[in-house]
Amino acid sequence: MSQQTSEYRHLAASVLLPGFRGPTLPDWLRARLAAGLAGVCLFAENIVDESAARSTGGDADGDTQPSAGDSDARLAALTAQIRAANPTAVVAIDEEGGDVTRLAAATGSPYPGNAVLGRLDDPTLTAAVARAVATRLAAGGVTLNLAPVADVNSNPLNPVIGVRSFGASAELAARHVAAWTAAHEEVGVATSVKHFPGHGDVALDSHHDLPVLDVDRDLLRSRELVPFAAAIAAGARTVMTSHIVVRSVDPTGPATFSAPVLQGLLRDELGFSGVIVSDALDMRGASGAIGIPAAAVRALAAGVDLLCLGPRITDAQLTDIESAIVAAVESGALSADRLREAAARVATLATTAPPAVQLDDPSAATGLPDADRIAAAFDVRPGAVPPPGARLVQIETAANVAVGRIPWGLAAAGVAVDRIHPGDPVPAGPLVLIGKDNHRYSWVCEMIDKTRIVGPTLVVDMGWPSPDRAYADVATFGASRAVGVALHHWLIAHGLGQAR
């Protein structure tokens, strides 16, 4: 191997951020970190005792669920191993503070989530939640949180953003994205505002498809870009791309591969000078047609600096990705200067010292909203109350990939519920039926229609409801454990448990 090829291979490794399987740092990944790999992106399976999560199933009494300290201790131990191999490694995680959680994947999140915070519209409260999340991550050795979500959820049929967004208004989302970003960065954990230039007005999930954002440039600037501009002004050190086609800017492919989007909009127009991070390249919207190595080359050429590769990358795949980058540089398809520029930006991020934070009790964060405050964000149809003697039935639909299978709703709050799945018989009433994004599933709508005919039914939607609220007598705009507790309090306050 020539000296130049060796340099290119080292540079290629220095812009890669893979995940891995299981709770133990593999020897091959330890060796790559020691040789200069940029860092690691952690997922729930790396830090949560999945057997404990399965044993509770979200139905166990709250006192017997895995504690917050379990995952925090595993996280700290794992990041110590990572940093022993590479003291300047970027340690990243998705901890959005609501339905999307890695630390609380066994129990459900203790935080309310973005849509609830947006509806309460108190940026000071949003900052308190962000500070609590960042403090917990810093104590565990995390240096980069792949949050906050800056997408304006203007499409109620959006299958992947929904309650992860602060709202459907650009100005509201911008207020809270800025508050979250500033508080997080003050603690010392870098933020990655996502998913640029905005994933809110699409009806497909880029984990499985290639969505198209079909809006003109004026609307893009006045809606999608507004929260990103606010986050940049608030000090966001990284911005994450989206695997969506922005037709009015570049119809040729996803934003992750688009210089007009990344260089033209993000760098030139918004003035961002930090690290551009790709959304996971194993997603179908990025690599479904070309494979991850080719996707890595295209992303770098377009202006991405740090390549998030996904949760289950292998040693052999990393070799293939590095080789594809080296070959692209040597053939002239990728500029060596572009690769050096990306590596330099990542190095600046990586060499920022992780904050020294001690957290004795990770569940004792201050300034978080109580159940009544969270319930104030609920949208309740006038006169809606649980019918006397109602059964609690939780509707189980397929979780999107970003959220994953974690306890949610009343079950996460330790409340005994019955569960219903596709194909199950219609439950007998009176009922409190609890689902997520009810209007998006035809079988859920049909079941709700039937139960309303048969007997008294209160329908709760813990996702993002339809504008007409046809299948949401109560809309909570989140399904985290914290929101589940608030919903249970609300139901009791409004008559749950009264005799028929």
Question: What angle, rounded to 10 degrees, do the helices at 68-85 and 123-139 form?
Answer: 60
Which helix (H) or strand (E) is 174 found in, with range? helix 170-187
Distance, in Å, from the CA atom of 397 to the CA atom of 118, rounded to the nearest integer, reads 25
* Alpha-helical segments (H) within 384-441: 409-412
Beta strands 379-380 and 474-475, pairing class: antiparallel
The region that residue 241 occupies, defined by phi over 0 for left and psi between -120 and 50 for alpha, beta otherwise, is beta
Query: Rounded to the nearest 5°, which phi and psi values hold at 219?
Result: -65, -40
Token digits of residue 100: 């999307």
With CA atoms as reference, report the closest residue to 45 among 59, 62, 25. 25
Query: How many whole angstroms separate alpha carbon 317 and alpha carbon 301?
Result: 20
Coil, helix or strand at residue 39: strand
Both tokens assigned to 285: 């919207």
Please name which of 440, 417, 403 lies closest in space to residue 98, comparing C-alpha atoms. 403
φ, ψ dihedrals at 173, nearest 5°: -60, -40
- Would you say 306 and 346 are in contact if contact means Cβ atoms under 8 Å apart? yes
Select from 423, 417, 432 the least CA-distant residue to 472.
432
Contact 357, 471 (CB under 8 A): no
Closest CA to 45 of 24, 66, 68: 24
Residue type, 452: R
Closest by Cα among 92, 124, 94, 130 to 111: 130
Residue of 122, 112, 234 whose CA lies nearest to 172: 122
Residues 6+ apart with CB under 8 A from 185: 191, 234, 235, 236, 237
Paired tokens of 398: 């397929």
Q: What tokens does 247 get?
A: 């037709």
Cβ pair 125, 363 in contact under 8 A: no
The span from the CA of 149 to the CA of 161, in Å, is: 8
Active-site residue list: 207, 279
**Interatomic CA distance for residues 113 and 275, integer angstroms:** 26
Q: Is the peptide bond before 254 cis (omega within 30 degrees of 0)?
A: no
- Phi and psi at 291, nearest 5°, equal 90, 160
